[in-house]
Chains A and B, each alone.
Chain A
Amino acid sequence: MSDAIDFSDVQGLLRFGYKHHTESAFALLRVRNRAAARAWLASTPVATAAINSGPLPPTALQVAFSAEGLRELGLSPQVLSEFAPEFVAGLGTDPNRSRRLGDVGSNDPAHWQWGGPAAEQVPHVLVMAYALPGHLNRYAFELESHWGVAFELMRWLQTSDMGGVEPFGFTDGVSQPEIDWSRTIAAEDKDRLAYGNLACLGEFLLGYPNEYGRYTARPLLDPVGTAAALLPRAEDAPDRADLGRNGSYLVLRTLRQDVPGFWRFLDAQAGGDAAERRRLAESMVGRRMDGQPLVPPAASTIAGVGTEAKARARNGFTFDDDAAGLRCPVGAHIRRANPRNADLPVDTQGLISRAVRMLGLDSAVLHADAVASVRFHRVLRRGREYGERLSPAQALTMAPSAETGLQFICLCADLARQFEFVQGAWIAGTKFAALPHEGDPLLGNRLPAPDEPDTARFTMPREGCPSRVITGMPQFVDVVGGAYFFLPGLRALRYLATA
């Protein structure tokens, strides 16, 4: 069953960040002519996860579809309905989803630049163009020249190379789950008693066992005598063709960052002290600006982090020894996004301890057990910055010449359990890990919930005295666009273009 993965059927983005391809732009397209759109999709080379010897290709292209796009391309409603319901409904179309994800107030999809609730706002196809320095302009021009009949170009989402630093000035994308490409993790449902960074293939690629040892639902088709015959067979249903296999869901959100607002607020809190200003910012993020975490590396090695000193220093840590958040505040951004814990509270050893903790009878660890089992809630991030970068010092005195932010991109196999859970429960949630009432210090929308007057706070626990609570936090990040996409495997892409 555990067949080796066919990298040539996987889009490259799942395996690579295309870090050498520092230039990139993402085209949002709407289908104008189905036949022409299909013809373009069938003939356009898409970069795969296979590693080729030789020099890097100057450009790489990835293609993903919204549910609306699949419909436009002619996928039957029946098959479409077998995709994840979140994908079928879309990111910006359902007020209940928006409320859950914190996309309210100035984040409300009604104000979005793209992806909002109006039908014409939703892109059908996402074309991601990556290029080595100096190659993007010509490449984008060339792509556009082929689209005329097939697509209407809604907009290009531009990106800029900030050298691995996001607009606030922090090294970004430091922590990523390590995907178990060689399928070393057995497909079984077993408690993990230690935090690990190695994630089952099925957490990110459809068609493989996930962390529960099960296959996430996706469209399975009848292969007999139809175009579906070219699709891979489903591992869990060998008589069915697997439209999901080697594909993934892609979340794209345009996050506008108020860099002057961020640094000016912190400067005021720090009374103009540059070092203190920086310290506050680092507490909110949970890492130093250079990417070093605020807690020391764990004594034991963490699976999936690697043994290299730099990787261990940056990612080989948990918050087990900092339960109170004295080093890294409990509400810090990286702690919310990945609380780094196991299925049972730390130091669960032996059958008795396990039984006691399973029954919730060890009161000493209950508080830390409010949040558990992060392995079911990981996402693979592939975002890119856009706009002009300002240093903290510049941000105090000038405004950027153009809008600045992050094209947030993440990949996962289960939108509800992974992206929506992390965004809804941990980032937008104002009660994360039993904190009294505060949202994410960077991404929080600061809006009072109907029954919570004030969430514009950030709590920094301190040794030997009460926590410092920063109040009156403005909103630093606005969501200004977004959509859910399906990033198909290569054979699935061919199926979508021909069936």
Chain B
Amino acid sequence: MVLAEVRPGHEQPLRDVLAQMNSGPGQADPGNRLLPFGRFESLHFARFAILDDTTHADLAAHGVTPAALPTYLAFFGDCDGPAEAQLDEFVRVAQGGLLEVFTHCVDCPAGSALAAWLRARNLPVAAAYANWTGRTARRVREERAIAEALGRRVQALGTTGSGQLQAVRQQLVDFVAAERREGRLLVTPDPPTPAGWQLRNLGNIIAIPLIGLVALPFLLLYSPLFVWQLRRRELADPEIVPAPDVDHVAELATFEDRGVTNAFTALGSVKPGRFRRNLVTVLVALLDYAARHVYGRGHLTRVQTIHFARWVFIDDKQRLLFASNYDGILESYMDDFINKVAWGLNLVFSNGVGYPRTKWLVAEGARNSQAFKNYLRRHQVANSVWYKASAGLTAMDLARHTRIREGLERSTMSDRDIEDWLRSM
């Protein structure tokens, strides 16, 4: 995530430039003149957001004078491979357009120094979730084409008699094979995962539990103190959950529900003090571990509507930014949070200033549904530009397409599985 400080007084011109990328409110035109997102083959999502922090003053409720923080322009996306490579490609293709944008930021260089400048402002992501680890943007496009071709083929078949399921599947497998020979459908093999990545991944899988194991005796010793520290704060921390400003909500809503997927960006201050700072650091690291190694096959806990999500600390962990791409209306996204995974939200976000009161770090909090919705809306930031490559498809559509493609590749399938497979088309 590139974070660049906006030059004082340049917020409005910056908004005007960003708006030029859009075909509708907040919706990027894939072929826009400044940064033609549609030309980047490994890009799933991208966005620009001006991080106007309207809730930073809430810190005063903790008796802390909020530090003056700059307004940032955040530019980030979800791509295959390393972020730096994607940044370099952006600059290669659209240096002029990017300069028109970033010239409104402090210290933006002229010309070819831009790539290095962007790299220098690329912040580490504290936790990242991808709906399907390793599913490339190319794979998404190819699977979509296969699923749509098979869908048409299957409808043309109409009903099939009993006992014909194996034959029907063979027909469909042959059909796709023929289409592939003709070059009308593609199944490009994934490029090999770089050995370095594999190694780092393995290291990460082992390292976190290992650290946990080593730290366990100390954690056990510390736990009574921790419980006391936590409960003391949970009972005293101020809850700041007034109804969000009507105009703010109206602005956010203008950008929403223009398609089947929406983009969510929110910003909040971490509660002051070492305890919360350390706690949220550990919990976000664990979240990252779970997102990487436990989930990543179509769901994050019970929630199956998130394509990508990220948690990024900014300003030396004074603030935490959360961003996601989710399917459906915000009300159903929030209700998924509240009804399916309130405990998980509480773990991380209860370390944020004003969050609804939690109990033992996991209970209550988001379950105070109206307070939570107010909190969320108040902390939400409007995205100036948002791009999605897989137009019209939800995360569950993508998973369905993957299952359809996998069904072609399996050597055998039971009649029962073929039935489910056909129904998914």
Contact = CB atoms under 8 A, between A and B. Distances in A.
Interface of A: 81, 85, 88-89, 94, 96-97, 99-100, 189, 212, 214, 216-217, 324, 343, 357-361, 363, 366, 369-370, 372-373, 376-377, 414, 416-417, 420-421, 424-425, 429-431, 434, 436-437, 449-453, 461-469
B301 interface: yes
Nearest to A461: B423
Given A100-B257, A212-B369, A359-B301, A417 B250 contact: no
Contacts of B394: 431, 434
Interface of B: 24, 27, 151, 154-155, 157, 159-160, 162, 165, 168, 243, 246, 249-250, 253-254, 256-260, 294-295, 297-304, 327-329, 331-332, 335, 339-340, 343, 364, 367-370, 373, 388, 391-392, 394, 396-397, 400, 419-420, 422-423, 425
Given A360-B303, A425-B332, A462 B159 contact: yes
Pairs of residues from A and B, 4 with the lowest C-beta to C-beta distance, nearest first: A96-B253, A451-B391, A451-B392, A360-B302
B368 A465 contact: no
B388 to A, nearest CB: 8
A172 B262 CA distance: 35
Given A425-B331, A429-B329, A437-B392, A360 B400 contact: no
A186 B329 CA distance: 31
B246 A85 contact: yes
B424 to A, nearest CB: 9
B260 A360 contact: no
Given A214-B370, A366-B304, A373 B396 contact: no
A468 B332 CA distance: 29
B260 A451 contact: yes
Given A372-B339, A425-B332, A85 B304 contact: no
A452 B256 contact: no
A421 B423 CA distance: 28
A191 B188 CA distance: 45
Nearest to A464: B162
B299 A360 contact: yes
Contact of B258 (A88, A358, A450): A450
Contact of A429 (B328, B391, B392): B328
A324 B252 CA distance: 36
Contacts of A461: 423
A488 B425 CA distance: 49
B416 to A, nearest CB: 10
B392 A212 contact: no
A466 B299 contact: no
9 contacts: A85-B246, A100-B257, A324-B423, A358-B301, A416-B373, A425-B331, A464-B419, A467-B422, A467-B425
B260 A370 contact: no
A462 B304 CA distance: 25
Given A94-B253, A463-B419, 11 more contacts: A85-B246, A96-B254, A100-B329, A214-B369, A360-B295, A369-B340, A372-B340, A373-B335, A431-B394, A450-B27, A468-B159
Contacts, number: 148
Nearest to B251: A96
Contact of B331 (A96, A373, A416, A462): A416
Contacts of A372: 302, 339-340
A88 B246 CA distance: 10
Contacts of A467: 422-423, 425
A431 B327 contact: yes
Contacts of A217: 243, 370
Contact of B249 (A85, A377, A453): A85
A236 to B, nearest CB: 12
Given A465-B159, A466-B160, A436 B370 contact: no
Given A214-B368, A417-B331, A99 B257 contact: yes
B137 to A, nearest CB: 16
B302 A358 contact: yes
A466 B425 contact: yes
Given A85-B243, A360-B302, A464-B160, A417 B369 contact: yes
Contacts of A420: 331
A96 B257 contact: yes
B352 to A, nearest CB: 21
B339 A376 contact: yes
Q: Which of A189, A453, A464 gathers the greatest number of chain B CB atoms within 10 Å?
A: A464
A465 B331 CA distance: 36
A124 B256 CA distance: 30
A421 B425 contact: no
B309 to A, nearest CB: 14
A89 B247 CA distance: 11
B302 A189 contact: no
B170 to A, nearest CB: 15
Nearest to A428: B329
Nearest to B302: A360
Contacts of B303: 360
A466 B162 contact: no
A437 B147 CA distance: 13
Contacts of B425: 466-467
Contact of B329 (A89, A360, A425): A425
A204 to B, nearest CB: 16
Contacts of A451: 259-260, 388, 391-392
Given A430-B260, A434-B396, A466-B154, A212 B368 contact: yes
A343 B339 CA distance: 7
A191 to B, nearest CB: 9
Contacts of A429: 328-329, 332
B335 A376 contact: yes
Given A431-B394, A466-B155, A467-B423, A450 B24 contact: yes
